[in-house]
Amino acid sequence: MDHLTRRLEAILFLAPRPVPAADLAAACSAGDDAVAQAVGRLAAEYCPGRHGVELREVAGGYQLVVAEDCESAVISYGGARAPEDLSPALLETLSVVAYLQPATRADVARVRGVSSEWALAALEERGLVAEQGRAETPGAPILYGTTDRFLMVFGLRSAAELPSLDGFAPGTDDVEELRARLLANAERRTP
């Protein structure tokens, strides 16, 4: 490995969070292109299956993570624990915030049909969403958005990498089925 690549490796070895390419460039007094190429070489070196750690691009930066087949050893060594799973209610609330951000409580409630105060508080506590100022509408409600930690635990480089919301829209058939069931339900009740 050349000197720049080795220096990047050293920084990533110690960094407690994903390091943006710009920070790597500044630390090594190197140009963006040179860093991009060096990161490419590092990624090839630390591709899955070669070492006990892998390079991944996440939350706007680069990070060395433990290879999946080595995780069990690390867990028995350090007692690391996987984050507690999110309940469907939390995932729903999170997806509304992620796609509509910055979103108010009312935005979330409008989609979910229920007050989501508790869910938002729980997500905030887990560091997945955070307040991002206040809306300039009457009552100045708090605006929520996702955090870097959100990007990390979901393996996203940025919020723009979320799968498109349009892709989840129910198709015409699904909508017709929903309608038919609503109607059937209503008709069954007709006296």
Partner 1 sequence: MRPAQAYPTGLDVDLDVFSGPFDLLVTLVLREEIDLWEVSVARLIGDYVVHLADAGDFDLDTTSQFLVHVATLLEMKSRLLLSLPGDDDVAEVEAEEAGEELLAALVRYTQFRRAAEALAGLWTRHAGRIARQAGLPACYSCPPSPGRRMPPAALAEAMAPLLREPAAPDSSHITDVAVTLVEELRRLRVLLRRGGAFSFQSVAPRGRLERAVTFFALLELHNRGEVRLAQKRAFADIVVTPLVDLEASAAG
Residues 141 and 104: beta-carbon distance below 8 Å: yes
Residues 6 or more apart whose Cβ sits within 8 Å of residue 7: 27, 28
Which of these ranges, 28-36, 40-48, 134-142, 172-180, lies near partner 1 under the rule CB under 8 A? 172-180
Residues 6+ apart with CB under 8 A from 15: 63, 64
Q: Using an 8 Å Cβ cutoff, are 101 and 92 in contact?
A: no
- The amino acid that residue 92 corresponds to is E
Residue 105 token pair: 């409580």
> Does 82 contact partner 1 by CB under 8 A?
yes
Residue 86 interacts with partner 1 (CB under 8 A): yes or no: yes
Q: How many residues bind partner 1 (CB under 8 A)?
A: 59
Spell out, one character per residue from 62 to 81, where the chain touches partner 1: x when CB under 8 A holds, - when not.
-xxxx-x--x--xx----x-
Report the SS3 class of residue 106.
helix
Q: Looking at beta carbons only, is 81 or 136 nearer to partner 1?
A: 81
Interface ranges with partner 1 (CB under 8 A): 13-17, 56, 58, 63-66, 68, 71, 74-75, 80, 82-83, 85-89, 91-92, 94-96, 98-99, 111-115, 118, 152-156, 163, 165, 168-170, 174-175, 178-179, 181-183, 185-190
